[in-house]
Amino acid sequence: MEAVLLDLSGVLYVGERPLPGAREALERLRAGGLPLRFLTNTSRSTRAAVAARLARMGLEVPEAEIFTAPRAALARIRARGLRPMLLVHPGLVPEFEGVATEPADAVFLGDAGEAFTYAALNRAFRLLMEGAPLLAVGRNRYFREPDGLSLDAGPFVAALEYAAGVEAEIVGKPAPAFFHAACADLGVPPARCLMIGDDVEADVAGAVSAGLQGLLVRTGKYRPGDEARLPPGALVADDLAQAVARALALARVP
Amino acid sequence: MEAVLLDLSGVLYVGERPLPGAREALERLRAGGLPLRFLTNTSRSTRAAVAARLARMGLEVPEAEIFTAPRAALARIRARGLRPMLLVHPGLVPEFEGVATEPADAVFLGDAGEAFTYAALNRAFRLLMEGAPLLAVGRNRYFREPDGLSLDAGPFVAALEYAAGVEAEIVGKPAPAFFHAACADLGVPPARCLMIGDDVEADVAGAVSAGLQGLLVRTGKYRPGDEARLPPGALVADDLAQAVARALALARVP
């Protein structure tokens, strides 16, 4: 094991607070010399805003180490010359500055939160019925907020897929291309990368399917029994501190 | 064939206008002496308001002949003593007058339209995660409005089922119990009832699964190619006039 990929929300922090011991665990991981990348389907803010928010929590993560699903979508939208309807959170809109969106010939769906109105979903539905492709950050079911679990983008992907009889193109986790882009950026083969996350499907099963090693932490959105849905060979740790100890052992860092 | 069940929206009218020839077709059907029931998953208004709306369009349908999915839900909610969160259209709320809703221990989902906000869906999701049952009018994907197709309740059922990992209890079409209640009210065995509708799944396949005969009309939400999804033995007609002619022939009405 030569490199570590980490999910952000639910692994390093929940809401606006770092998880207990997360800051120290991250420092220990960095001290071990393993190259890191942070992979998130979070899509309520730009990559710059994600880095700034982590800094406010005392979590040092350079912007260049952060891979966000919306940035992957942006690259795909530009490569294909799409004009997407942006069904996204207002905080994410600046990420798509300069991208033509009218007349729309595609739908890009992020975790839009309150922006998931009936009118917006209906407009997206009608575009899909005309043959527009549906790009989505991921299929994540929910995430943990300080006051409880909240709906992520996945349920709204499921709604539009069901309504229009189409299948979304997932650009973030668990799409293998997303993991592979991070591994390529590190220059480390997927089989020698460990992905740490709190989402069984998007983080752990996704990583394993893409040929990486996967580790589930029992923090964030974790709920007892999630282990039953893990793929064979996946690892489990109580929190980031334990996950880091495991990663350093696998990497034979003394 | 001794009785006819009819869907409303997309068969008799679209928006606030009767479909061409629908009024005359309905009169011819009544003149043929076949007993009728109207089955709808429409859930944006009370049964009384549905009847009043039909009357405004010149469609004579006594309230007692209308079976609505929300009324079926109401009966089930009362029988089980549930206190449902009502994720419904404001126009439907009066149908549930007198039903205790706090503290909620169930979710009832109708075609809530603009009331499908992120906050409301999230509240429903959290109840489901605590084990509350999800009752829903149906799984209808979309319906036709004067300006195009619009999202029905089904996509939102799909969203919540996916998010919480649960299965909804469908109270309207295509639930066999809903068709059977209408047949029982007519005193005619299901095998001798014909269901006419514009929704392949909810109306036609649902009726056939419940032991009735099914007929798809090519009006309302019908889209070319829908025939491919019909169950074996289902009938097809261009509109209500043709469907009525077929029904009267099957019933040997001269």
Amino acid identity, position A234 = A
Residues A143 and A183 in one domain: no
Cα B232 to Cα B243: distance, rounded to the nearest angstrom: 18
CB contact under 8 A, B149 and A126: yes
Instruction: List the single residue in B with minimal CA-CA distance to A143.
Output: B163
Taking contacts as CB-CB distances below 8 angstroms, the residues of chain B near A118 are 112-117, 151
Which residue in A116, A125, A163 is closest to B118 by CB distance?
A116
Contact B155 A163 (CB under 8 A): yes
Q: Could you tell me if A166 and A93 lie in one domain?
A: yes
Element (DSSP H or E) covering residue A22: helix A22-31
Q: Residue B104 falls within a domain, yes or no?
A: yes
A161 CA to centre of own chain = 20
Find all residues with CB under 8 Å of A243, minimum gap 6, and list them.
Answer: A25, A196, A215, A217, A235, A237
Asked if B164 and B118 sit in the same domain, the reply is yes
**Chain B residue numbers touching A229 (CB-CB < 8 A):** none
Whether residue B187 sits in one domain with residue B143: no
Distance CA B254, CA B248 (A): 8
Q: List the one residue out of B109, B112, B79 whose CA is nearest residue B181.
A: B79
Strands (E), chain A: 3-6, 13-14, 17-18, 36-40, 66-68, 84-87, 106-109, 134-136, 142-145, 148-151, 169-170, 193-197, 213-217, 235-237
How many helices (H) and strands (E) in chain B?
Answer: 8, 14
Cα(B223)–Cα(B75) distance, rounded to whole angstroms? 34
Measured CA to CA, the distance from residue B176 to residue B211 in angstroms comes to: 8
CA A46 to chain CA centroid, nearest Å: 13
Distances (CA, A) of A23 to A11, A12, A244, B159: 11, 8, 11, 35
Q: Is residue A65 part of a domain?
A: no
Together in a domain, B132 and B195: no
For the question of an ipTM over 0.85, the answer is yes
In contact, A177 and A206? CB cutoff 8 Å:
no
Q: Which of B149, B170, B191 is the last residue of a domain?
A: B170
Question: Based on the domain organization, do B198 and B217 belong to the same domain?
Answer: yes
A187's CB contacts (< 8 A; 6+ apart) are none
Minimal Cα distance from A155: which residue of B?
A: B159
Q: Identify whether B155 is preceded by a cis peptide bond (ω within 30 of 0).
A: no
8 Å CB contact of B125 and A156: no
- Three-state DSSP class for residue A217: strand
Of A114, A122, A160, the CB nearest to B150: A122
Q: What is the pLDDT of residues A211-236, one digit of tens each?
A: 999 999 999 999 999 999 999 999 99
Q: Say whether B140 sits in a helix, a strand or coil.
A: coil
- Structure pTM? 0.90
Cβ-defined contact of B163 to A148 (cutoff 8 Å): no
Residue B69 lies in a domain: no
Paired tokens of B24: 């005359």
Residue burial A12-23, b: 16+ Cβ < 10 Å; e: rest: bbbeeebbeebb
* pLDDT digits 0-9 by tens, B13-54: 999 999 999 999 999 999 999 999 999 999 999 999 999 999
Does one domain contain both A84 and A155? yes
Residue B47 in any domain: the answer is no
Ordered per-residue pLDDT tens for chain B, 254 residues: 999 999 999 999 999 999 999 999 999 999 999 999 999 999 999 999 999 999 999 999 999 999 999 999 999 999 999 999 999 999 999 999 999 999 999 999 999 999 999 999 999 999 999 999 999 999 999 998 889 999 999 999 999 999 999 999 999 999 999 999 999 999 999 999 999 999 999 999 999 999 999 999 999 999 999 999 999 999 999 999 999 999 999 998 87
Query: Minimal Cα–Cα distance from A88 to chain B, Å?
Result: 13
Q: Assign residue B231 the CATH number of its domain.
A: 3.40.50.1000
Q: Is residue B237 part of a domain?
A: yes
Write down the H helix ranges in B130-193: 154-164, 176-186
Do the domain assignments include residue A62? no
Other residues' Cβ atoms within 10 Å of the Cβ of residue A97: 8
Residue A159's domain spans which residues? 75-170
Question: Last residue of some domain: B115, B136, B170?
Answer: B170
Helix (H) or strand (E) holding B104: none
Minimum distance, in Å, between the CA of residue A106 and any CA atom of chain B: 18
- What is the DSSP track for B56-73? HTT----GGGEEEHHHHH
Asked if B165's CB is within 8 angstroms of A149's CB, the reply is no
How far B233 CA sits from the closest chain A CA (Å)? 24
At residue A183, does pLDDT exceed 80?
yes
Q: How many structural domains does chain B have?
A: 2
The domain boundary, picked from B170, B196, B220, lies at B170
Question: A210 and A135 in one domain?
Answer: no
| Measured CA angle at A178 (ends A28, A110), to 5 deg | 100
Contacts of A162 in chain B (CB under 8 A): 141, 154-155, 158
> Do B22 and B104 share a structural domain?
no
Residue pLDDT, tens place only, A73-131: 999 999 999 999 999 999 999 999 999 999 999 999 999 999 999 999 999 999 999 99
Q: Are A141 and A188 part of one and the same domain? A: no
- Residues from chain B that touch A119, judged by Cβ atoms under 8 A, are 114
> Does A104 map to a domain?
yes
- Rounded Cα distance, A46 and A246, in Å: 31
A84 and A37 fall within a common domain: no
